[in-house]
Amino acid sequence: MATWCKTMSIQIEDLSKDYVMGELTVPALQEITISIEEGDFIVILGPSGSGKTTFLNLIGALDRPSKGKIHFNGLELASLSEKKLTQYRRGNVGFIFQFYNLVASLTAFENVELAAKLTNSSDEASKITKELLDVVGLGDKSNKFPAQLSGGEQQRVAIARALAKKPKILLADEPTGNIDSETTGKILKLLKQINKDHHVTMILITHNVGISYLADKVIYLRDGKIFGTSVYDPAKEEEFWETLTAAPAIEKV
């Protein structure tokens, strides 16, 4: 498949999110300013509760900010109606979660096809589904139900499903958090390949410092704020692949 992304950029300005629960206000994200360009592979690294999922949910318009702006190709998300936000998500954003979220009563093929049908005719959806299951290496398991697949295979179905709409942005929340180290390697290689071949902008959340070495840019979150950033270092990536095959236990921040 050819590159499917046209020029894309996301400008994030002073983004904050407070969760209000009665008398209590949790400042989950505070004044984040950052820009993300087409084809970037961004990793968001931070300890539990640092605001990673909150940040991803705002970019994916699953939630609205308390303050600040996200401009997607010049479109300000907070100013959009629910209907327009659904169109934004449907047309541009693919989601991958830690626990796959596949429909248990549908086969691998049907799970992916369901997403492909949202933006394609039936014939086209079927073709795209077959193609994507091949991309993730599951062409021969397309008729299996999620319960008949391993965790890594289920996650690959979820990746194919996220790609079915040919998203410009792929948002992945701990996609390998529940997977052994060998399968983690396969999933990460697949995500890098998709990022490289199709220029899909990737924003991936992890606790795992090693995984951050794959990114073009790492955003460190702590207490809802950007604590630091770093850029790609090929020596670090190499070190990560060696560590992954040598020792399954990975350091946590």
Ligand X SMILES: Nc1ncnc2c1ncn2[C@@H]1O[C@H](COP(=O)(O)OP(=O)(O)OP(=O)(O)O)[C@@H](O)[C@H]1O
Bridge partners (DSSP) listed for residue 190: none
- Select 5 or 26, whichever has its Cβ closest to ligand X: 26
Stretch that binds ligand X, among 21-29, 83-91, 124-132, 192-200 (CB under 6 A): 21-29
CB of 217 to ligand X, least distance (A): 18
CB of 56 to ligand X, least distance (A): 8
Q: What's the N-to-C CA distance of the chain in angstroms?
A: 37
Q: How far is CA 121 from CA 94, 114, 127, 160, in A?
A: 19, 11, 10, 18
Query: For the chain, where are the alpha helices, taking DSSP H only?
Result: 52-59, 82-92, 108-119, 122-135, 151-163, 181-198, 209-212, 234-246
Say whether residue 53 binds Mg ion (CB under 5 A): yes
Tokens 């890594």, residue located: 152
- Select 50 or 155, whichever has its Cβ closest to ligand X: 50
3-class SS of residue 107:
coil
Positions in 27-86 near ligand X (CB under 6 A): 28, 46, 48-54
248 secondary structure, DSSP code: S
CB of 15 to ligand X, least distance (A): 13
Tokens 């299996």, residue located: 144
Binding partner of 48, given Mg ion, ligand X, none, CB within 5-8 angstroms per partner class: ligand X
CB of 101 to ligand X, least distance (A): 15
**Residue 184 has which token pair?**
């983690």
Say whether residue 208 binds Mg ion (CB under 5 A): no
- Select 39 or 65, whichever has its Cβ closest to ligand X: 65
Stretch that binds Mg ion, among 31-39, 52-60, 111-119, 236-244 (CB under 5 A): 52-60
By CB under 6 A, name the binding residues for ligand X. Answer: 19, 21, 26, 28, 46, 48-54
